[in-house]
Structure formats: C-alpha cells, structure tokens
Amino acid sequence: MVSNTRLVRRLIIICIAMFAFGYALVPLYDVFCEITGINGKTSNQPAVTRAAVDETRTIKVEFLANRDDAIPWSFAPEVAHISIHPGQVQVINFMVENPTDMAMVGRAVPSVSPGEAAKYFIKIECFCFTEQPLDAHERRAMPVQFYVDPKLPAHFSTITLSYRLYKNIPQLVGR
Amino acid sequence: MSRENISSHQQHADHSHDSHDHKPRGISRWLFTTNHKDIGTLYLLFSLLMLFTGGILAMMIRAELFQPGLQFVDPHFFNQLTTVHGLVMVFGAVMPAFVGLANWMIPLMIGAPDMALPRMNNWSFWILPFAFTILLSTFFMEGGAPAAGWTFYAPLSTTYSSDSTAFFVFSVHLMGISSIMGAMNVIVTIFNLRAPGMTWMKLPLFVWTWLITAFLLIAVMPVLAGVVTMVLTDKYFGTSFFDAAGGGDPVMFQHIFWFFGHPEVYIMILPAFGIVSSIIPTFARKPLFGYESMVIATASIALLSFIVWAHHMFTTGMPVAAELFFMYATMLIAVPTGVKVFNWVATMWRGAMTFEVPMMFALAFIVLFTIGGLSGLMLAIVPADFQYHDTYFVVAHFHYVLVTGAVFGIISGVYYWIPKWTGVMYSEKIGQLHFWCSIISVNMLFFPMHFVGLAGMPRRIPDYALQFADMNAFISIGGFLFGLSQLIFVWMVVRCMRGKGEKATDRVWEGAQGLEWEVPSPAPYHTFQTPPQVK
C-alpha cells in the first residue's frame, strides 16, 4: 500500500501532465496536419524541386480570396479558375488595393480544399510567405507560383486555393 | 440534528480519545466540517439548488419556444440561457450530486471511518458556491452571461464573446479544481481505507464505477482547464491558439474540447451505472449477474472514451478514414454498454421483484437510458450524422442519457439511501406520485424532440419554422410539468430531513446487501471507527 501523501503526489503529477498534454495537443495537431496534410494547410516553405509534367491529366484549379473585417482592402484573383496539367508551373496574380488614406500591413493565410489535396499543391513563390505592406491608395498584383504534384490521387479533379487576408497584428511579426 | 447528536455521543463513549467527535453548532459546523456525511449532505443540497437554478433557465427556454416568433427574450439572451443551463446542469447539478453520493456512500460501503483527505474534502465543496456565484453573476453584467453554448466553441467564445468570458473561464477553473480534488479524495480513500478483507473484486459496483470515474476526472479536467486558459489568453492576451490570422486553428479548439468532453459524458453516467447496479439486486432479491463483466465493461467504456471524441465533429471536414475510425470506435462502446444492460436484465430474470420507488426509477433508467444509447448509435453513423448534426435530435439524445440516465440514476440513489441518511422512510405515496409525474412528463418533454430534430429543427435557435409549432407547444408543456414534478421530490426530501415518517430499520430494504446497511439508521456521525471484518 502506498501512503496517502505519495498517492496524492502521484495523482497531482498526473494532473499536471494532463494539463501539459492539453497544451502539447497544439503543436501535435500542427505536426499531425502537416504529415497527413488533412487540414488544407499548405507548406509555408517555397518548394525547390520540380516534377515532370503529366499531360494525360487536367486539373481544374479554382481561386478564392476574402478578407477579414478588420482590413478594408479589396482583394481578388485575376481569374476565377484555370485548367492545368499536373507538374505544370503556373503563375496567378491576386489583385490587392488599399482604398484607405493610411498605410497598412496585411497578411494572407492560404487554405486548400479538399484538405487531403493540400500536400499535393506545391507553391514555389507565394505572397503568403511574407507580410504585405501597402501605402494609402496603393494597388498591386501579388503573384503566386505553383504546380500540382503529379502524385495527386486520381479521384481529385478540382482543387480550390483560398486566401484570407488579415490585418497584420503584432504577434504575427517575425513569423 | 438532535438524533445525530445522540448517536454521536453514544459513539463518543466508546472513543473518548477522539477529538473529532466535537460537532460545532450552527453555520460553523457546515463551514468547517471535515465529516464525510456532512460534506456529502452539502454536496447533495447544493446540487439540488443548482438543479432548480438550471431548471429555471430551462423553463425560460421552453417558454420562449412555446410558440414560433420571439415572445419573451431576445436571441442573444436566449443563447445565454442555453449556455448557462448546460454549464449549471453539467458542473453544478450532475457532477456535485455524484460527488455527494460518493462522500456519503463510499466510506460506508468499504468500511472506512471517513474520506482519506477530509480537509481537502471540505475545500473541494466550498469552492463550488463561489464558482457558481461567479458564473451566475455574469447575467447581471454588461454584455450578459457567456452565450457561446456550453461547448464554447472558438471563435464564438473568443472574438465574438462579451467580457464576461473572463468570469466564465475563472469559474470553470474553480469547478475543475473542485472536481479534481474530489476525484483524488475518492481514489485515495478507495486505495487506502478499505476494511480488512475488502478485496478489489469484493468492492460494491458503485465504488468501482466511482473509482474509474475519478481516474477519468483526473485525466480530463486538466485538459478542460487548459482549453479555457487558451480561450482566455486568445481573448485578452494576444495569443492565437484558435485564431487563423495568427496561425491558429478554430477546429483545433473542438479537438481539444472534445478530448475532454467525451470522457466527461461518461463521468456523468458511470456512477449512475453503479447506483443502478446496487438497486437492481436489492429489489430483485438476487445477487448482481456478472459482477466481473460489469467491472470490465465499466473500465472498457472509460478507456474507449478517449478515442471517440471526433464523433462530435463529423461535419468539420475530416478525411473519410478518420470519420470511419471514429464511427467504428464509437459503435464499439455499445458492446460494453450492452453487456451492462444485459446484466441488469439478467439480474432481474426470475427474481422476486418488488417495485418500490428506487426500483421504479432504476427500471426507468434502464429503459430510457437505452433509448438514449440507441439514438447515440444513430448519431455515430457518419452519413446519418450529417443530417442529425446540430438538430433537436441531438438535444433529445443527450437529454435521454443525462436526464433519464444520470439524473434518474441520482434520484433512484437518493430514494434508496435516504432512509439510511435521515433514519426515516420516505413516503411511498409521495415517491410513487413523483415517479409517475416525472416519467410521463419527461417523455412528453424529450421524446417529440426526436421527431422535430429529424424533421430539421436546429438546436440553439429561439425561433423556428411554423410546422414545428404544435410539437414545440407539446414539448414545452411536458417541460413545465417535469419542472413542477420535481417539487414533489423536494417535498419528499424535506419531509425526510425533518424526520417526518416511519422510522427506518437498519437494513431498510429486505434484500439489501453491503456494509452500509450494517450501521444504524440514521447513520451515526462517525461510523466504522473500528474497521469491520469483511468475510
């Protein structure tokens, strides 16, 4: 038999460990989503390798842009959708305009749908990698350069790339 | 009080060296008590008070839903009502009632003189009134009480919540600390204070189910504390756990919350399984069928509860493989639960059954909890869940398992043990009246919710489409009747506490087995100061 004090101490350790586990779920969740690619989260690093073009398949890629209420910019892709072959590198511009009288910094967070296709959607260059400062009334085209990995499972024929634009808040700086 | 004093003085003669025999009078007795029976009584009375507090909120919800359109409350206040109703019933009524029963009965059932950590016991109770004062005070604040639902999904609880969120978070912290301390006390008591000869496989099933529940509490209440802390820091301290703008993810809130939330629903039902497993053998006059399988089934349900949480989130866009995993894991829980229901029925099979009030509530528990379990199985089916999700079908499901499950389990336990607590038999007439009023009204209240849910009525909405009007009026009438029926229960409790009624014998029930029936009725202030020998 364990004494009351030692038993209570062990139970308290379990409690603290479970509290820590609750917080550990946060990085674990990200790691899990990154490995499996099931959350529509794309890699935040530019891709370096290129794949061969598979001309036997055609994938429809749709583009969406929306913004948070806190940032009054206009934000839209120059085309709604395109059709490309897996492996084919493509550049698409997203048009952004700051209609206000003051300079602001925005940041776009990408998401790919269906979520399972996210890890096959490879960005070579993306405005989402960095902060986007815009002067008052400045208008700019923000390019994203990407290709679709030819290893994309056969049952996917459409991929949607969506960006949501946020006003840069202090804790984002440096990410 | 005077009866207890007499018996405690009788014991005093035998244990004159024991300083704890001194029992202060008045309020300080209750404030400073370390006696498991006093604390059990406090817990039970507190949970009764909270049952009526949450009940009043429910009555307001049903009054608003009596007719389509907005009658009495505005939508924002309606959301506050559903949110606080859920929080009060889960953390204020059901959980403290179980801790109260554990305090009263576990030492008596295992032959212990008291709980192992009596001062902590006092503390864990007295935190609760403060926690709920904080929570309920938010109704009177600018912006009102929390309105994000008892599940407080981000960003409803972060970006879109009022400033009462801080009060809500702090009150949940206090409730969590209280539950964790209560659970530790139960574990240490059961590990260390069993009477000689009370081996693990001789423990009454109520003790077993509570031991397993206590481990669940220790494992998941800290996770709840973590997730409310993340909500707090997201709202006030600039973190972005659940904010996509800062790299967080609102869906992650649901994963962490339900990692706590699913074991939590078993925390609210396992002790009721234990109560029913004590009552059925008494009134069937047969030993419990399949004791070992009951213990194993309870432990299996507890373990499985950790791998099924995402069945609350089928519509969040999970991959099919994950949906299938959580669907099958959830359905697997029906197996140990089915074992339990089978064992209860087998215990009654060819038993010499009588139908006193505790048995009536226990039988109602078995039938109605099984209905709630079956609608749970329907919800576990992924393609079907897409239709049922966030409709009144879900409301019907969890009220069947929580009201006719957990609450009926608690009520049957109160009827079963109140003669031992107070020394007088409850009035069988009042009890039967309470039972029949409750059983009819509760089914009027919750059964039609299945139909309006299947027909597409969403939950947490103060207004609804006209075709649901008749059903909702009927449901509301059932709700008011069920609320009123519980006043009969209060009448019964008050009568017993005032000592009105037939004097109870020590054994109380002809078929009762177990150490709690070996002590006099009412149970003296101190019991088993010399441990009994269990054969």
In a domain, B428, yes or no: yes
Instruction: List chain B residues with CB under 8 Å of A2.
Output: 191-192
Give residue-wise pLDDT tens across range B198-233: 999 999 999 999 999 999 999 999 999 999 999 999
For residue B24, count other CB atoms closer than 10 A to its CB.
Answer: 11
In a domain, B527, yes or no: no
Identify how many contiguous H helices and E strands chain A contains and give both numbers.
1, 9
| Marked catalytic residue, from B36, B194, B286, B340 | B340
Residue A49 in this model has a pLDDT that exceeds 80: no
In a domain, B144, yes or no: yes
Q: What is the mean pLDDT of residues B414-440?
A: 97
Known catalytic residue: B485? no
Q: Is B243 helix (H, G, I), strand (E, B) or coil?
A: coil
In a domain, B130, yes or no: yes
* Min Cα–Cα distance to chain B from A171, Å: 7
**Percentage of chain B modeled with pLDDT above 90:** 90
Looking at residue A157, what DSSP letter applies?
Answer: -
Three-state DSSP string of B57-89: HHHHHHHHCCCCCCCCCCHHHHHHHHHHHHHHH
- CATH code, domain with B237: 1.20.210.10
In a domain, B528, yes or no: no
A7/B117 CB distance under 8 A: no
- Any idea which of A47-51, A157-161, B240-244 has the lowest mean pLDDT? A47-51
Q: How many domains does chain B have?
A: 1
B221/A7 CB distance under 8 A: no
Task: Supply the mean pLDDT for chain B.
Answer: 93
Residue B337 in this model has a pLDDT that exceeds 90: yes
Q: How confident is the model at residue A117 (pLDDT cuts 50, 70, 90)?
A: confident
Residue of B nearest to A166 (CA): B245
d(CA B348, CA A143): 74
Known catalytic residue: B459? yes
The pair of structure tokens assigned to A12 is 């308290």
What does the pLDDT read at residue B23? 72
Q: How confident is the model at residue B21 (pLDDT cuts 50, 70, 90)?
A: low
What does the pLDDT read at residue A169? 59
In a domain, B343, yes or no: yes
B245/A68 CB distance under 8 A: yes
Known catalytic residue: B173? no
Residue A44 in this model has a pLDDT that exceeds 70: no
In a domain, B529, yes or no: no
Task: Supply the mean pLDDT for chain A.
Answer: 85
Residue B13 in this model has a pLDDT that exceeds 60: no
Give residue-wise pLDDT tens across range B357-386: 999 999 999 999 999 999 999 999 999 999
Q: How confident is the model at residue A45 (pLDDT cuts 50, 70, 90)?
A: low
- Looking at B298-348, which runs of residues are DSSP E strands? none
pTM, rounded to two decimals: 0.88
Range of the domain at B350: 8-18+27-517
**Percentage of chain A modeled with pLDDT above 90:** 33
d(CA B237, CA A173): 16
In a domain, B533, yes or no: no
Contact residues, A window 13-72, toward B, CB-based 8 Å cutoff: 14-16, 18-19, 21-23, 25-26, 29-30, 36, 38-40, 68
Q: What ipTM did this prediction achieve? A: 0.88
Q: How confident is the model at residue A71 (pLDDT cuts 50, 70, 90)?
A: confident
